Structure 1
Amino acid sequence: MSTAETDPVVGSSPVAAATPAQQPNSLQGLAQRRAEQHQHHHKQNDINSLSSSEHSQFSSDRGSTPPLTDPKISLPGSDSKDKFSAIDDSPQATSSSKPRSKMSSEYDPFAGLSFKVGVAENKNSTYRSKMEDVHTYIANFAERVDWGYFAIFDGHAGKESARWCGNNLHSLLEQEIDLELQEQKDMSETNTHTGQPSDSDTKDHLYKTFIKADEIIEKNAIQGGCTAAVAVLRWESEGSENGHKRMLYTSNVGDSRIVLSRKGKAYRLSYDHKASDKNEIDRVESSGGLILKNRVNGVLAVTRSLGDSYMKDLVLGKPFTTSTQITKDDEFMILACDGVWDVISDAKACKIAADCFKNGLDAQEASRKLCQSAIDASTTDNVTVMVVQFDQGVFD
């Protein structure tokens, strides 16, 4: 059914099953419907994750927070319910890790859920001798019904850091979520809580998770580094008895990218941390580094990453984070490494995927089409593409 790929630095115990957990009262009806439908299709006792690909990118700092609007593509206006912000605090790091397991191609972990996932990858053997990308996705993430976790890690100078993140970062994030809910539970006798972390809490969880992962990688002398693009899709209470909303949280370091398609238009939910970016150049130089030929100290093409411990004073692991309310207007999102974005624009990628859906193809076929399009456009890097299609009918 599934086999575990174990990182040499971490233990080999299998990942806990992604089963439904107790939901808050405001979401109980929805949770029960999702759970019944999910259990009707499958008994899911494995977390469903995958891995693959290669490239080179790096980390982040707080001295110069990048602007929230990418100049290459517009973001929702101020009247939108979307919220975009960067978190940059300095939390302590702790260690926790579990390996992820590979999913059988015959098994659909998303049956009965409100999203579908497709993943495609290509080593691009014309230009690359090995694959250093890793991808992970999890249905019913953190044992909560109809939550999803999606991540792409693009390794450089080896695959060790990317593999470690693919095996462990979701576990660190789940710990942060569970800790927050336990603290809310402990306070419930004197305060009113929904049982759900707030908007800012969830972004903070992602931020802390990236910092912890970066410190654990350094502590364990894991070689190389990787970019990271992570998204969490979840339900939250709106405070009313039966009200709930769909939220998407993202976090990234480096130039792997997350793009949302809304009413046929592309919205970038990540920030490209490159050595050609003015904000990142200023930060690196103010920290005593140099940018030579669009590389940090002439070595790294990205300015933020997880790992790369030998350059951690310049190449940081502090991420850019966003929160976005998902509505009926949102069709799908694309997570991909820079092997895609180097040769395909955000808008074109969304059009390729949208055309696939219009022609009756699924998320898997859309991801394959995007992957092949990058190869056909002569990308020189490994390619990994993840397409997450939203069930818009859930809002009916």
Structure 2
Amino acid sequence: MSSKPSVPESSTPVCQETKTESMECENETGFLLHQRLREHALSVLGCEPYKIPHDLEALLLLRRKAILQLLRSHTYTENKVQKINRSYEIIKSVLGRAFPPKHADCQYYIAEHTVNTTKVSHPLIRAVSTCEEKNAAWKPQMEDVSVLIDHYGGKTGTCFIGLFDGFHGNFAAQVTSKELPILVLEQLSKYPSSTYSVTSEDLKMLAGFDTLFQEMCEDNNTGYAPPVLFSVEDNVCDPERVHRAFAKAFWKMDRLLGLGRDETSRIRWSGCTALICLIESTAKARKSEAGMAENGNTIGIPTNQQGRVTGMIHIANAGNTHAVLCKNGKGHHLTQDHSTSNHKERCRIYQNGGKISVHEPHGLVEGLTRATRGLGHHGDPLLKKCVIPVPSSLSLPIDDSFQFLILASSGLWDVLNKDKVVTTAIEILSSHSELSQDRGSMSNQASVHFSKTELPNDLSINSAETGTEDNNFVLEVIQDSQPEENTLTNVTARVEEHLQMQNQYEILAANISKTIVVMAMCAGSRENISVTVVLLPGCDSYLKK
């Protein structure tokens, strides 16, 4: 009988002091955060929700029982023991304390994190926020890299979002975040009647790689299969062209990482999984069309036949970095799982002569990583023949039922499923009734849109203050029954209302991303965690309740 390691009383120190950036947390968000932490901890310890042990002795019995059950099972892993220990410490901190705790009480669970909210002048994006956590207890450095490019390719109403999860260092992720968007843009700009443009600086960079790609032909081994075509209008690209551009750009990026620029290790070079998202808006709304293209197949996300299509989302991923869409209150995976838990991926690796270890429940490719697709890894021939740079891509039309999009690295999805993440985000949205009231009061007023170029001098919006130039403002003062409402004072007030509403969206996105990261930490994640939240027009439905 194989012996299993003994478990100490608590393998997770709770008195460790860490210096963290003090952040103010709204009362309702703090309450929801701690409620989620407590609920998850009780579930791990095998206790019913809201039934907290009355003293420390009863809590110790629950912990010992959970560990004994784990030792007797065939699914024992150190990660599960870590979950039990973290849950024990969470409930222990609740005993004898006021509820909910201050944000400072969560310092142990967030050691080093940053929350970045980027202003985007996109008609379909309410706000974008990214929260990054190094998880210093398990990772010595941050290997995740995220990127956001507004007015991508010089097009108004187009936004590029990327998330790259590094492996064996952050070099591959850093280089990919800078060069992959340019490679994708190069491919998109080549098609006839394309409205994408490449800057002269980017053209110089691409010219330096011409000799490397001169042997590349149109039908190279990119693993690409032509998807179903859409009848797309306005300035939105055909999904087939976008998918082909994604596949070629991934292949080129992998070749560039093979040059080994600035790589220091002679044994194994760095690599990364990749997730990119291109959000395009249409000039005119049109009726929703059935079906969604995914490398030649349709997937089971229902399309609102009565809704207005206002744009397109194009997604591509290689690896276990995923995107989840919330549509009508339900979460949908937009990415494929390229990991050892995927049976097809396991079969492909075995057919190519690769090996999968049994150190983890689903094993590791060559004993190193769960990801079966990605970029880089050129320093390790055995790993490289198994981890391929072939993305899975998907396109779908955006309608009014699209509420938000969550892009996250494997550090989140290893410990939390999409339903838990989506439910948490929805509850945070529902708790902010202030934004709903502001939006409702604005809808009862006259419809007024503003443009920086047409505003009076004293009302011009300073881009240094707003962070971006809002191209959605077009001055159209619609006459009301009372002409005095169109005075300069009312115009000023409505500009301020718009800016206040935009600020509320940014606060919401930041709270969602931060709360999800905290939940992943408390669930026992051992990886870097990066979460990007994109609020879409459909999120207003919760704010109006």
Q: How far apart are residue 219 of structure 1 and its match?
A: 2.6
AA aligned opposite 2:132? E
Residue deviations 1:305-356, cap 9 Å, x none? 1111233322100001111111111100100011111111101111111222
Residue deviations 1:116-173, cap 9 Å, x none? 1011011111222111100011122221112111111010111100001111111111
Query: How far apart are the structure 2 equivalents of 1:228 and 1:304?
Result: 9
The match for 2:119 is: 109
The match for 2:517 is: 371
The match for 2:428 is: 356
Pair 1:288-2:363 in alignment: no
The match for 1:330 is: 402
The correspondence of residues 43-192 of structure 1 with structure 2, limited to 5 A, is 108-111=118-121, 113-115=123-125, 116-181=127-192
- Answer yes or no: is the 8 Å Cα contact 2:116–2:510 preserved in 1: no
Structure showing greater radius of gyration is 2
The match for 2:387 is: 315
Residue deviations 1:348-388, cap 9 Å, x none? 11111122222225112211111111112221111110000
The match for 1:277 is: 342
Query: How far apart are the structure 1 equivalents of 2:525 and 2:142?
Result: 14
TM-score of the two chains, using structure 1 as the length reference = 0.66
Query: How far apart are the structure 2 equivalents of 1:168 and 1:155?
Result: 15
Query: How far apart are the structure 2 equivalents of 1:263 and 1:389?
Result: 13
- Answer yes or no: is the 8 Å Cα contact 1:235–1:244 preserved in 2: no
Q: Between Structure 1 and Structure 2, which shows a larger proportion of strand residues?
A: 1
Cα root mean square deviation, aligned: 2.9
The match for 1:3 is: none
Gap change, CA 1:108 and 1:180, over 3 Å in 2: same
The match for 1:390 is: 536
Q: How far apart are residue 393 of structure 1 and its match?
A: 9.1
Gap change, CA 1:347 and 1:316, over 3 Å in 2: same
Q: How far apart are residue 113 of structure 1 and its match?
A: 3.7
Q: Which runs of 5+ in 2 are unaligned?
A: 1-113, 197-232, 264-268, 287-307, 433-506, 541-545
Q: How far apart are residue 239 of structure 1 and its match?
A: 11
Query: How far apart are the structure 2 equivalents of 1:156 and 1:105?
Result: 22
SS of match in other structure, 2:258: helix
Gap change, CA 1:107 and 1:225, over 3 Å in 2: closer
Q: How far apart are residue 184 of structure 1 and its match?
A: 9.2
Bigger mean CA offset, 217-226 vs 161-170 = 217-226
Query: How far apart are the structure 2 equivalents of 1:283 and 1:238?
Result: 44
Instruction: Find 1:263's aligned residue among 325, 328, 334.
Output: 328
Gap change, CA 1:391 and 1:184, over 3 Å in 2: closer
- Answer yes or no: is the 8 Å Cα contact 1:210–1:318 preserved in 2: yes
Gap change, CA 1:220 and 1:363, over 3 Å in 2: same
Query: How far apart are the structure 1 equivalents of 2:247 and 2:385?
Result: 18
- Answer yes or no: is the 8 Å Cα contact 1:237–1:244 preserved in 2: no
TM-score of the two chains, using structure 2 as the length reference = 0.49
Gap change, CA 1:118 and 1:225, over 3 Å in 2: same
The match for 1:299 is: 368
Gap change, CA 1:183 and 1:328, over 3 Å in 2: closer
Query: How far apart are the structure 2 equivalents of 1:371 and 1:196?
Result: 33
- Answer yes or no: is the 8 Å Cα contact 2:404–2:539 preserved in 1: no
- Answer yes or no: is the 8 Å Cα contact 2:236–2:311 preserved in 1: no
Indicate the percent of aligned positions where both proteins have the same amino acid. Answer: 24
SS of match in other structure, 1:352: helix
Gap change, CA 1:386 and 1:106, over 3 Å in 2: closer
Q: Between Structure 1 and Structure 2, which shows a larger proportion of helix residues?
A: 2
Q: How far apart are residue 197 of structure 1 and its match?
A: 2.7
Query: How far apart are the structure 2 equivalents of 1:177 and 1:236?
Result: 17
Q: Which runs of 5+ in 1 are unaligned?
A: 1-103, 186-192
- Answer yes or no: is the 8 Å Cα contact 2:119–2:128 preserved in 1: no
Gap change, CA 1:137 and 1:314, over 3 Å in 2: same
Query: How far apart are the structure 2 equivalents of 1:315 and 1:297?
Result: 10
Q: How far apart are residue 237 of structure 1 and its match?
A: 6.9
The match for 1:30 is: none
Gap change, CA 1:359 and 1:239, over 3 Å in 2: closer
Q: How far apart are residue 236 of structure 1 and its match?
A: 4.4
SS of match in other structure, 1:370: helix
AA aligned opposite 2:349? V
Gap change, CA 1:371 and 1:183, over 3 Å in 2: closer
Q: How far apart are residue 301 of structure 1 and its match?
A: 1.8
* Aligned residue-pair number: 285
The match for 1:200 is: 240
SS of match in other structure, 1:296: coil
Q: How far apart are residue 108 of structure 1 and its match?
A: 4.8
Q: How far apart are residue 298 of structure 1 and its match?
A: 2.2
Query: How far apart are the structure 1 equivalents of 2:539 and 2:170?
Result: 39
The match for 2:273 is: 227
Residue deviations 1:32-59, cap 9 Å, x none? xxxxxxxxxxxxxxxxxxxxxxxxxxxx
Gap change, CA 1:107 and 1:181, over 3 Å in 2: farther
Gap change, CA 1:227 and 1:108, over 3 Å in 2: closer
Q: How far apart are residue 194 of structure 1 and its match?
A: 6.0
Using CA pairs under 8 Å that are at least 6 residues apart, name the structure with larger relative contact order, 1 or 2. Answer: 1
